[in-house]
Amino acid sequence: MAYQRPDHYTKKAKAQGFAARSVFKLEELDQRFRLTRRGAGVVDLGCFPGSWSRYLIEKGMRVVGVDLKAPQLSGGTWIARSVMEVGADELLAVVGRVPLFVSDMAPNTSGDRFTDHMRQIHLVRRAMELSRACLEPGGTFVAKVFEGEEANAVVKELQGEFAAVKRVKPDATRDRSVEFFVVATGFVGDAPRPT
């Protein structure tokens, strides 16, 4: 990936001691959708280097994070393994059912847009699978998605399981980025939704 010059958000993250500029994407989503709740549990997939987890911890949430590497951060529980190897039972044993499940996961990009999209969709679908087992009724699912031919199918699938689903491109997302975030609120699972 080509070097990207530090911008306003990168400089702001560094000034505030956050490991990555992505924290401002979560902050904007939190402000818009009121995601965080003091004392509640949250699962954070793709938690390294820790900016989202730190934000959630500072909001008073009980964080369990999963990534190949654990962030150098206190206040949460870290599972340093592939998300493909972590089962819902393990997450439930640590934090129980949660009102919020977030994923900022992305693959190591290859430069081939289709390949990167399909790899990222694979990660999103794993996050969706785990969230179904871990979310409380009425809970919220937030995940990074790369634009591409499978993106609309992911959104449509979530629409069958949540009361409302929004596609959002936070201000802190780089202009050339193919990512957006799906914010699905009001988890209902397989139960029929009120009409």
- pLDDT > 90: percent of the chain: 77
Q: What is the mean pLDDT of the chain?
A: 89
Dump the DSSP string for 81-96.
S-TTT--HHHHHHHH-
Q: What is the pLDDT of residue 171?
A: 86
Catalytic residue list contains 169: no
Mean pLDDT (whole number) for 175-187? 92
Contact 7, 171 (CB under 8 A): no
Q: pLDDT tens across 81-126, in order?
A: 999 999 999 999 999 999 999 999 999 989 899 999 999 999 999 9
In the chain, what are the domain boundaries?
Answer: 8-102+119-187
- pTM above the 0.75 mark? yes
Number of neighbouring beta carbons within 10 Å of residue 185: 17
Decide if domain 8-102+119-187 falls under CATH 3.90.1310.10.
Answer: no
**Which tops the pLDDT comparison, 20 or 101?**
101
Closest CA to 156 of 178, 133, 124: 124
pLDDT band at 11 (very low <50, low <70, confident <90, very high): low
Which one is catalytic: 12, 25, 59, 144?
A: 144
Please classify residue 34 by burial: count the beta carbons closer than 10 Å to its beta carbon, then call 0-12 exposed, 13-18 middle and 19+ buried. Answer: exposed
Mean pLDDT (whole number) for 13-39? 80
- Counting other chains too, the contacts that 73-76 makes at CB distance below 8 Å and 24 or more residues apart are 76/44, 76/47
Contact 123, 142 (CB under 8 A): no
